[in-house]
Every structure is written in C-alpha cells, then in structure tokens.
Amino acid sequence: MFQSVLIANRGEIAVRIIRTLRRLGVRSVAVYSDADASARHVLEADLAVHIGLSAARESYLSIPRIIAAAQRTGAQAIHPGYGFLAENAAFARACADAGLVFVGPPASAIEAMGDKIRAKQTVAAAGVPVVRGRTESGMSDADLVDAAAEIGFPVLLKPSAGGGGKGMRLVTSADELAAAIESARREARGSFGDDTLLVEQFVQRPRHIEIQVLADGFGNVIHLGERECSLQRRHQKIIEEAPSPLLDAAMRERMGAAAVDAARAVGYVGAGTVECIVSADRPDEFFFMEMNTRLQVEHPVTELVTGLDLVEWQLRVAAGERLTLADVRLDGHAVEARVYAEDPARDFLPTGGTVLALREPADARVDSGLRVGGAVGSDYDPMLAKVVAWAPTRAEALTRLSAALGETVVLGVGTNIAYLRDLLADPDVVAGRLDTQLVERRGRFTQAVPDEVFVAAALDELLSSRPTGPVVSRWDVPDGWRLGGSAGFSVRLDCADRHVLVRVVEGAVSVDGSDFTPASVTVDGSVLRLTYAGQTRAYQRAKDGSVLWLAADGSSWAVAEHSLLEESGVAGSRGGPVTSPMPGTVLVVKAAVGDVVAAGTPLLVVEAMKMEHTITAPVDGVLTELTVQAGQQVALNQPLALVTPAVQEDT
C-alpha cells in the first residue's frame, strides 16, 4: 500500500477519499485554489498545497501544478476523484512520466471509452448490445440528417467527446434537426473542444441503469451489481439507488456479464461504471450507453449494499494487489440524494453564500464538503453533499432517506433539500415506476412561505431588540407602548416571492392584515421555538445582518427585514431595481445608462456554475443606474441596476 496519496480534487469527494486514507494509515495530501483556502478538505488533510487561482483551469485542471505538488510533498500516487482530470488520458500519462501512480485505469482505456464513437464500436465488437444508430467519425451535418431519417424519429444527438449531458439534444421531428445539430455542435465545441456528433435511436421511457465493475492488473474483472440512476434533471442525476427496483436476478447477471466484457475489451483496471439504457416498456432489453472510467458520484449506494469500500479497492489495485473478492452479495437497499446549492423554486438557479449553521443527520451516511463558516461560491460545481440511507427494504430506505433529509440543516446557502423530499414522496418514485423524463414531467417546483415563518421572524426581531440590561425607561421597550395604550410592533419582511407586513400587539400577531393570533417565541442559541395557532414548532436559526435564516423539516427560509418606509408607493416611485438572482460573474452588459428600455429588455447576462442567466428590465422606463461591468463578481441579490419608470405627464 502507498504511504502518501495526493487528491487532485476538492469538496465532498476529497473529504470522502481522506476518510479512507486515514483508516488505512496513508498520509493524505490535498490541493486547493484561492477560493478553497479554508475549505473542509484542506483542513482535514494531513498536508495541503496551494496550486493556483480560483479558476479551475488555473488550479484543479492544471496538470503541471498538480504533478509538481505531488513531487514536492513526496506523494507516491494521485487519486483524481471525479470530474476535473479524472477521465483525462493526458493526466494519466503525465503521472506515469513523473513516476507517480494514477489511481485509475490505463490511459489507453480512458481514451477508448472517452470517445463515445470508439467506445460503441469496441463494446459492440465484444458482443455487448448497443443502441441502433450511426457512429462513424467525422459525420457532416448532411450525414447526420441522413442517419436520423434512416433511424427514425425520435433520435438523440450526442457529442462523441465528454459527457454530463452537455451537447445532448433530443430531436422529435425532421423540422427540428438542423437547429439541434447547430446547437449541439456549438455546445460540444465549447465544452470539449470537439464538435463531433453521433446520432442514436431514442429509447422510449428510458431507464438509466449502470453496472459497477472492478478490475485488477492480472486480468480479473468482477461486477458489484447495478445502480438505478433514472431520476435526472437536465441529464444530471439527482437520486440514485442500489439495487434497481426493475431488475431481477437473471437480468442483473446478464447486464453484469456484459459490463465485465466491456471492461475486458479495453484492458480496464480499477473501478469503473458501465452505463446502460433499459426501456421501461421492455425491461428485458438493455443497451450500452457509455463507460465512466472513474469513481462515480453515486458509489456510496453500492458500498452500502456490498459492504465494500470502493476507494480502498481503487488504492489496492493501483498498488498492484490482486482482487480477492469472491461471491459478492447485495444486502438490503440504499438510496442517495444529492444536495445542491440551487433554488428549485427559481428554476434551479445556483445559490451561494457562507454556511452559517450546519446539522447532519445521525442515522444516515453523509459525504459532505461543508463546514460552518465555509463559503459556497460560483467557481465550481454546485453539489455540496450526498445523504445516503440503507435499510433492509426499498420502502424503508426511501423513508429513512426522507427522514434524514428532514434532519439536515444548511443555513446561509439555499439548497434543494425540500425538493428532494418532495421527489421522494412522488407516487411513481415510491412505486419504482422510474424513467429519465419523470422529473421533467413533474413540472415546476413551488413551495409557498407559510405565515408562521414570518411570525417567527417578527417575534425573533422583537425579542432581539429588547434591552438586555436593567430597563431604565418604559420607552426603551420596543413594543410600541405609549401613554394611553400600545401601538404594537410592526416590521416589513420579505422571503422568496412574499412581501408582508407583520404587526405584534400584546402577544398577538397579524400577517398582512389577518386576524390577530396569539403567538410567542423562545430562543435558545441556535434553536427558536414558536407557539402559534395552537402548535409549537422548533426551528434552527442563524442571523446574517438583516436576514434571519430559519429551517425545519428539510425546508429553509431566508427572511429579510426592510424599513417600514419601503411601502409599495415609495418603492414604486423609485422604479424597478434589478438584482442578481444568483452569485456569479457578469458576462455581458447589454445596455447603458440613459437607455430607454421596455419591460423584458435584456440588460445583463450573469454566469454561475456553467449556467447563464439573462437579466431583464422589470418595468418600462429609463436605465438610470448601472453598478457593475463585464467580468465583475456579484453576490446573490446584489443590486446591479435601476430602471426608473418614465414620468407620465398630465394631459
């Protein structure tokens, strides 16, 4: 076994690898960018090396800097995790040239499976079923049009290089094909530097099922069962489980044998995943889709049902050991949910901020890169953590995962936790009726902010503004008391799309003119207990300036306090303020101060985590303020511009 291993990654996967290295007694070396100087993986590693600026290409994607860091620290091997350089054949060769062991497959296997066209040809020659399509290299637009007509619609356009759904287009008719080809080539060229496309038959109601394989350097290849990964949004997995509720033992062995054949066909060594498409309508058929030549994000579900540590076996195989696993059995069921920094109610726009409070469930596995005080920015992937539950049955595993998510608290950063719980409760998910389009069919996620959240925030503000020492004067108590009676305490609060006025008078609360209802709160450190409308509920709380964060049952709310002068008439006279819907970078400024604009006119484009968002004028008027420029970093809800309505003259 190695004595020292450098981890060429960050976030939750780096922390997870450190955990195994520590258990094995192997020194862990982390690398970090400027943005990650105080990140959790840096603090938990035995040694950490600064490798560059926040931009990935100048840090985690810089092969020379990572190789130099490994040599300088005496590391014998480099574990790439996933993403970044994990499937980069040039990086695997650079490690070998530097006398370092790459914890992954040979560069030749990465190249063979990294090119989808070559991969399909290789596995088809080994007898593995593939989706009907055209996979010749260098097909022109005309060739793709002819191939689509030959296959029959619907078809799927896919880049030959790369993955993650980038450049993939579903085309349902010939009329859509030309525009789809142009769009797919443009995205593939921008993402992978290669606009080569292939075209495949689109399998109706597809299920995404993948097989975990392990191989050593002595020709031994085994599979560890399958994972169901059909719950996806925009081709990105959200919830994964093992085993699949679709497969029986016979089908599992058929798919496992095909995955082993695919791995053998390219001389695979290490842990890898063969991804397949299975029709929900014809579950006895499966087709090879691609092979991921690395550890998968969802590997914990396989670990929980097999009892194996896949990172440990990656290290053992890379160190030259033989596979000694025999008769691997699947025990029980495991389900994983990915926690992202995103706002499901705003079309999953990325969020960000500083983690003010953090609570992880006690009865579930959590792979996380989060820590209190840690910053979540827009430089890297928005995935923050994975919550994984195991139980003897699938139904119990789903219930335990939902309960674990309900106990999970992340304050200071908006997350998708409430959405994950909602998805787990979907009747089709509960019944195992899954396919890759189920999430899209469910439509937009909405979650109204309940009145009690505003009541809790108002009473928290009232409580915190009370004098803590001896009360010298009755006038110092902020309850609106005056000679002749109490005028009460009033506060204007915003949360999500609700803007309310809360009044508190003698222990009763009214939200936006509703009937006064008795309410009270107690605050004990980070816990606020609210009694309202005959119910008592505990919230986790954290304060960030004028914003109070509250969380309960997997949901979280950021409640902002505003001056009472900000009545609708006053705000309206100021026109339409424009704020950033997410933390990110201003890519383009499309208007200038003094421009006359109509509601909906594009003003700026902000990018975060590889997602672009066009910001438009909220009202007709004149752009009177513009406070940012192209290339500038902006925070969530940061003011960017002001549109003042044109003055209407009396006639």
3-state secondary structure labels for all residues of 322-353:
CCCCCCCCCCCEEEEEEEECEEHHHCCEECCE
Cα dihedral sign, 66-68-69-73 = positive
Model confidence at 607: pLDDT above 90: no
pLDDT at 202: 86
Is the pLDDT at 282 greater than 90, yes or no? no
- Per-residue pLDDT for 522 more than 80? yes
> What mean pLDDT comes out for the span 236-265?
96
Percent of the chain with pLDDT over 90: 72
Q: Is residue 575 scored above 50 in pLDDT?
A: yes
Average pLDDT over residues 237-258: 96
CATH number 3.40.50.10680 is the correct assignment for the domain at 4-103: no
Q: In this predicted structure, which of 137-146, 343-352, 397-406, 484-493 has the lowest mean pLDDT?
A: 484-493
- Residue-level pLDDT at 271: 98
**Listed range (210-214, 369-373, 390-394, 639-643) with the worst mean pLDDT:** 639-643
| Tokens representing residue 476 in the block | 């110092």
pLDDT (average), residues 545-557 = 95
What was the pLDDT predicted at 629? 92
Q: Which residues fall within 8 angstroms of residue 480, CB to CB, at 6 or more apart?
A: 486, 487, 488, 489, 490, 505
Please name which of 614, 632, 630, 631 lies closest in space to residue 578, comparing C-alpha atoms. 614
pLDDT for residue 610 is more than 90: no
Average pLDDT over residues 444-452: 93
The Cβ of residue 256 has, within 10 Å, a number of other Cβ atoms equal to 20
What is the average pLDDT value for the chain, to the nearest integer? 91
Please write the tens of the pLDDT for every residue from 461-489: 999 876 555 655 544 555 555 545 455 89
Q: Where in the chain is the domain with CATH 3.40.50.20?
A: 4-103
- Superfamily of the domain at 132-201: ATP-grasp fold, A domain (3.30.1490.20)
Q: Sheet harboring 155-159: ordered strands across?
A: 133-134, 197-201, 155-159, 169-171
505: exposed, middle or buried (C-beta count within 10 Å: 0-12, 13-18, 19+)? Answer: middle
Fold held by 572-644: OB fold (Dihydrolipoamide Acetyltransferase, E2P) (2.40.50)
pLDDT number for residue 471: 54
pLDDT at 567: 46
pLDDT higher for 20 or 116?
20
pLDDT band for 573, please (50, 70, 90 cuts).
very low
pLDDT digits (tens, 9 = 90+) for 320-364: 999 999 889 999 999 999 999 999 998 898 898 999 999 999 999
Confidence of residue 17 (pLDDT cuts 50, 70, 90): very high
Q: Which residue has the higher pLDDT, 600 or 311?
A: 311
The partner residues of 237 in beta bridges, in order of sequence, read: 232
Cβ neighbours of residue 640 closer than 8 Å, sequence gap 6 or more: 578, 579, 580, 586, 603, 604, 615, 626, 627, 628, 634
Of 228, 229, 224, 13, the C-alpha closest to 103 is 13
Domain(s) of CATH 3.30.1490.20: residues in the chain:
132-201
> 109, 58, 486, 144: which is closest to 265 by C-alpha?
109
Is 80 exceeded by the pLDDT of residue 8? yes
pTM: 0.86
Q: How far is CA 627 from CA 278, 579, 642, in A?
A: 51, 10, 9
How much of the chain exceeds pLDDT 70, in percent? Answer: 93
Which ranges in the chain are annotated with CATH 3.30.700.40?
451-562
Reported as a pLDDT band with limits 50, 70 and 90, residue 281 is confident
Taking only the tens place, the pLDDT of each residue in 362-395 is 999 999 999 999 999 888 889 999 999 999 999 9
Strands 155-159 and 197-201: antiparallel
179-183, 419-423, 600-604 — most confident range: 419-423
Classify domain 206-441 by CATH architecture.
2-Layer Sandwich (3.30)
Tokens of 632: 């500038």
Query: Domain spanning 451-562 has what CATH number?
Result: 3.30.700.40
Within the chain, all domains assigned CATH 3.30.470.20 are found at 206-441
- pLDDT at position 191 is 80
Q: Please, is 407 exposed, middle or buried when counting C-beta atoms within 10 Å of its C-beta (0-12, 13-18, 19+)?
A: middle
Q: Residue 256 above 90 pLDDT?
A: yes
What does the pLDDT look like over 72-125, one tens digit per residue? 999 999 999 999 999 999 999 999 999 999 999 999 999 999 887 889 889 999
